Structure 1
Amino acid sequence: MALNYSIYEAKARFSEVIRQVREGKTVTVSYRGEPVAEIRSIRHRQNPTLDERLKDLERSGELVHSAIPRQTLGPVGRRPGALARFLAERGE
């Protein structure tokens, strides 16, 4: 959950902003309506694994699973040799 504060509000409510960040929320600070900074907690681990990062993003609501089931992908180029023709046209 992201929270938005103007610079003036963030300065006036700094303790509240820090409390929200400690709870795992992300705070956006704006200047004249334009976002200029984002305050979020520092993870205890400097290099989280991909699974840990994905779980963190799911918990924060920044990552949600698609309602559409996964599909197997087919080839993009339907004609064989498309890459070779493309590179030949570019002179590579």
Structure 2
Amino acid sequence: MAEEYSIYDAKAKLSALVRQVREGRSFVITVHGQPVAELRPIEPKPKATTLAARVAELRAKGLITPARTTPDDPRAFPIGEYREGALQRFLDDRD
């Protein structure tokens, strides 16, 4: 079981506690005798080895979503019809 320190003692000895955490020890911080926090080493996260693995990891976490369509041919997006004065309309709208 991890050693317990009151919030008062933990504040007073924080530098020493952090040094011990770097060595692998863990501590429980209490407030009025009740455990409220744990001071412990951070577990290293495994890194994805490939781009595909990283993309799959981000998709699984819901942080990215795939595009609904993939343009196989850039010509699939037709260029609009040329209209005179596009630059002026753009500049007018900008103000």
Higher relative contact order (CA 8 A, sep 6+): 1
Task: Give the TM-score, by structure 2 length.
Answer: 0.45
Higher CA-based Rg: 2
Task: Give the TM-score, by structure 1 length.
Answer: 0.46
